[in-house]
Amino acid sequence: MSSAKPEAVSDGLTRRSASRPLASLTVLSGPSGVGKSTVIQELRAHHSDLWVSVSATTRKPRPGEVHGVHYYFVDDAEFDEMVERGDLLEWAVFAGNKYGTPRAPVEARRAAGVPVLLEIDLQGARQIRRNSPDARLVFLAPPSWDELVRRLVGRGTEAPEVIERRLAAAREELAAEEEFDVTLVNTDVKTVCQQLVALTRSS
């Protein structure tokens, strides 16, 4: 594992004055396989005015994933230390791995007037709802259950037992859709991104 830590503060950010409100905080969640990572990739490439938080995880990197870009890859001991210090805005265990959102960079960008998007799972979204009631929760839904299963199986990156766990979790996540403020159906990535950007600007 790399010893590089999630950023504590971001260089070049202007501290918020007492009169400036915090920039919007938008949470994107939805079942595994719905296409959240593809949406995030598109946002990072074409919507630089919206900052997408980088999560910390104990999961092993997938091919092509870069530490500090896609995730902060840490071991269990490092992750537990972050939890104990209160360094995470939210955290959860999913499919046997831990995921969490580093608090400092999110707060720094909001204070500097930069809209923030978090891409997290249902457990994390519920924590954000409790801890940051001003956040807007967006549910990304698949066009259909069959399409979701096809996407999960078609990845070819995970063992069958992991896929089964993800499908079981997906059923629970789909049932929680009513807990969210907005639902977007992922039939077209560019359209979803445009809708998300519009939501962050209207917050």
- Containing H/E element for 160? helix 160-175
33 marked among binding-site residues? yes
Give the pLDDT confidence score for residue 8 in this predicted structure: 46
CB-based contacts of 45: which residues, under 8 Å, 6+ apart? none
Give the pLDDT confidence score for residue 169 in this predicted structure: 83
Give the pLDDT confidence score for residue 201 in this predicted structure: 85
Give the pLDDT confidence score for residue 156 in this predicted structure: 65
| Helices 145-154 + 160-175 axis angle, to 10 | 150
Round to whole Å and give the CA distance between 3 and 29. Answer: 28
Does 94 score more than 70 pLDDT?
yes
Does 12 score more than 50 pLDDT?
no
Which range has the worst mean pLDDT, 6-15, 50-59, 143-152?
A: 6-15
- For the segment 31-60, the average pLDDT, to the nearest whole number, is 92
32 marked among binding-site residues? yes
Does 17 score more than 50 pLDDT?
no
Question: Could you report the per-residue pLDDT of 120-178, keeping only the tens digit for each?
Answer: 988 899 999 998 999 999 999 999 999 988 887 876 667 888 888 888 888 999 999 99
Does 58 score more than 80 pLDDT?
yes
Give the pLDDT confidence score for residue 119 in this predicted structure: 93
What share of the chain in percent tops pLDDT 90?
65
Other C-beta atoms closer than 10 Å to the C-beta of 45 total: 9
Contact 173, 95 (CB under 8 A): no
30 marked among binding-site residues? yes
Round to whole Å and give the CA distance between 123 and 197. Answer: 23
pLDDT top residue among 98 and 12:
98
Give the pLDDT confidence score for residue 150 in this predicted structure: 87
34 marked among binding-site residues? yes
Give the pLDDT confidence score for residue 181 in this predicted structure: 97
Does 9 score more than 50 pLDDT?
no
Does 5 score more than 70 pLDDT?
no
Q: Which fold has domain 25-202?
A: Rossmann fold (3.40.50)
Segments making up each domain of the chain, as ranges? 25-202
Mean pLDDT (the chain, rounded): 88
| Distinct helix (H) and strand (E) counts, the chain | 7, 9
